[in-house]
């Protein structure tokens, strides 16, 4: 029974690794074929353009086209990777809610939460939360 349990556990774990490895290999092959297709496309465009104009001019035009495409892809990638700055007001509210000083319902719920705690603890906790939020929201 223990052997069967261990066998099924190993099979499930190794099967998942095998499936992921196959998926990663298929992605590498797909990217390779995509790159080959782009190279052949540029070669065909070069041959077509070199018949109509000087070959060195066709090469310069295709290099400029490739450079523009690379710059556009870099710009799109950079905008996708750029982090959004968190809203300090939202951070302050969520910190106060997590401390229990502000309920989900608004100010009426905060009065009930403050009644349950000692006023000194609530005051210290809100001062700590405000200091933490102010410290994190200032840019250096």
Task: Please indicate whether residue 5 or residue 45 has the higher confidence score (pLDDT).
Answer: 45
Residue 43 has pLDDT above 90, yes or no: yes
Residue 104's nearest CA partner among 114, 115, 93, 88 is: 93
Write the pLDDT tens digit of every residue in 70-95. 999 999 988 888 877 767 677 767 77
Q: Where do the structural domains in the chain lie, given as residue ranges?
A: 2-81, 88-137
Task: Please indicate whether residue 120 or residue 32 has the higher confidence score (pLDDT).
Answer: 32
Check: pTM over 0.85? Answer yes or no: no
Band of residue 30 on the pLDDT scale cut at 50, 70, 90: very high
- Tell me how far apart the alpha carbons of residues 72 and 60 are, in angstroms, rounded to a whole number: 18
- Tell me how far apart the alpha carbons of residues 13 and 8 are, in angstroms, rounded to a whole number: 9
The confidence score (pLDDT) of residue 112 equals 53
Mean of pLDDT over the chain: 78
The confidence score (pLDDT) of residue 114 equals 47
The confidence score (pLDDT) of residue 71 equals 94
∠ CA 103-107-112, rounded to 5°? 65
């Amino acid at each position: 029974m223990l052997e069967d349990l261990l066998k099924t556990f190993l099979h499930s774990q190794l099967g998942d690794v095998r499936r992921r490895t196959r998926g990663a290999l298929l992605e590498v092959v797909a990217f390779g074929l995509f790159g080959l297709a782009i190279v052949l496309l540029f070669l065909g465009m070069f041959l077509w353009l070199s018949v109509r104009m000087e070959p060195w001019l066709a090469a310069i035009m295709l290099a400029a086209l490739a450079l523009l495409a690379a710059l556009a892809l870099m710009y799109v990638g950079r905008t996708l990777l750029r982090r959004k700055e968190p809203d300090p007001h939202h951070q302050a509210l969520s910190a106060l809610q997590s401390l229990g000083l502000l309920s989900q319902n608004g100010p009426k719920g905060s009065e009930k939460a403050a009644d349950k705690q000692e006023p000194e603890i609530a005051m210290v906790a809100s001062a700590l939360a405000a200091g933490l939020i102010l410290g994190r929201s200032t840019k250096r």
